[in-house]
Chains A and B, each alone.
Chain A
Amino acid sequence: MENLIIDETVYTPRINLDIENGLIELVGKSYPENTFEFYKPMMDWVESYFSGNEQAKTIINFEIIYFNSSSSKLFFDFFDLIEEVTEKGKYVEINWIYDPDNDSALEAGEDFKEDFVKLNFKLVEK
């Protein structure tokens, strides 16, 4: 299994999936045309990572400035997957990073935090 980096575009975030450092990182905007296709490599990577390739501790940094509704659904599925693996005993910390002036980004983070109460989900001011 290898690390995966997807470069940022004007409508998709930079994705950094790093095995050695146990790091899953998304930074940027998210409104791809075909959201599920765009994120499939990431979702596949995350599944194989947590199938025995993971570090003792995994950090997820999520810094999405704004996103469309299909990305919102995809992120929900992503956190759902993370909740599943934590229930199997994997240790994961999620940092939802937001600009304090961006109310919607904070609100989106709060919603996910409430939807996934079992996750170690932190709201982190930038």
Chain B
Amino acid sequence: MDITKLEDFLDDSGVVFLSYGGRLSQDLISNMTEALEQEAEKNNVSLSASTNIFTIFVELSQNMMNYSKCKSECKGSFDPKGLVLVGYNKEDNSYYVLSRNILDSVDKDKISPKLTEIKSMNRDEVKKKYRELRRSGLDKHNQGAGIGFLEIAKRCDNIDFKFTNLNENKYQFMFQANIINK
């Protein structure tokens, strides 16, 4: 493989931080977060923007870690291929945190309507919903598309997501949170 091609691609896409999230562990996540903290300091990212980037990065990585743990405990095939990356968009001085992994169609059906709802909400609605859910305690052990995605929505300027059908019961899930560096 021509590594310069990969480097050029990463440069063009503004990728500043890349991680492979096959089998993520807590230690791996905290090491990556530390590296990300150093990167943010070096690049003079504002404290507000950087803490939001770290929170979103942690939230998405832990989501993926928990999902892969949960799946490997169940029977059936599981594709652990996942990716979390942080990029920078020069045009509007914004950062993005992007994650991608494979989901079962059952999980896609659970997550998709919740994300559609969150995406349609304004900031105040997100905050209100977040606090309601936190107060209710209902989400305590519910992993996936609960308070975690609201936490992310609260800490970024907008979100985007996409499900791509791979076969009858597998989807590729792409999620992106954009954070303006102000």
Using CB atoms and an 8 Å cutoff, list the residues of chain A in contact with chain B: 9-11, 31-33, 65-69, 72-73, 76-77, 99, 101-105, 111, 115
When the two chains form the complex, which single residue of A32, A72, A99 contacts B151, counting CB atoms closer than 8 Å?
Answer: A72
Q: Which residues of B contact A11 (CB under 8 A)?
A: 26, 29-30, 33
In Å, the complex CA distance between A104 and B49 comes to 9
Closest 8 CB pairs of A and B: A69-B151, A33-B26, A101-B47, A103-B48, A69-B148, A66-B51, A11-B30, A10-B30
Chief secondary structure at chain B's binding surface: helix
In Å, the complex CA distance between A77 and B134 comes to 9
CB distance from B166 to the nearest CB of A (A): 28
Give B35-66 interface residues, CB cut-off 8 Å to A. Answer: 46-48, 51-52, 54-55, 58-59, 62, 65
In Å, the complex CA distance between A91 and B151 comes to 32
CB distance from A75 to the nearest CB of B (A): 9
Would you call A73 and B140 a contact (CB within 8 A)?
Answer: yes
In Å, the complex CA distance between A77 and B139 comes to 13
Given contacts A101-B47, A102-B51, A104-B52, contact A68 B59 (CB under 8 A): yes
Would you call B135 and A31 a contact (CB within 8 A)?
Answer: no
Q: Which residues of A contact B135 (CB under 8 A)?
A: 76, 115
In Å, the complex CA distance between A69 and B135 comes to 13
Q: Which residues of B contact A67 (CB under 8 A)?
A: 55
Q: Which residues of B contact A33 (CB under 8 A)?
A: 26, 62, 65
Would you call A66 and B54 a contact (CB within 8 A)?
Answer: yes
CB distance from B171 to the nearest CB of A (A): 23
Would you call B46 and A73 a contact (CB within 8 A)?
Answer: no
CB distance from B179 to the nearest CB of A (A): 11
Q: Which residues of B contact A9 (CB under 8 A)?
A: 30
CB distance from B55 to the nearest CB of A (A): 5
Is B131 positioned at the interface, with any CB of A under 8 Å from its CB? yes
Q: Which residue of B lies closest to A111 (CB)?
A: B131
In Å, the complex CA distance between A72 and B133 comes to 11
Is B34 positioned at the interface, with any CB of A under 8 Å from its CB? yes
Q: Which residue of A lies closest to B25 (CB)?
A: A33
**5 contacts across the A-B interface (CB closer than 8 A):** A10-B34, A31-B30, A69-B59, A73-B137, A76-B135
Is B102 positioned at the interface, with any CB of A under 8 Å from its CB? no
In Å, the complex CA distance between A34 and B33 comes to 17
Is B127 positioned at the interface, with any CB of A under 8 Å from its CB? yes
Q: Which residues of A contact B84 (CB under 8 A)?
A: none
Name the residue among B58, B147, B150 with the largest chain A CB count within 10 angstroms: B58
Is B155 positioned at the interface, with any CB of A under 8 Å from its CB? yes
Q: Given contacts A76-B134, A104-B52, list 14 more A-B pairs with CB under 8 A.
A: A11-B33, A31-B33, A33-B26, A66-B58, A68-B58, A68-B59, A68-B148, A69-B59, A69-B151, A73-B139, A77-B137, A102-B47, A104-B55, A115-B134
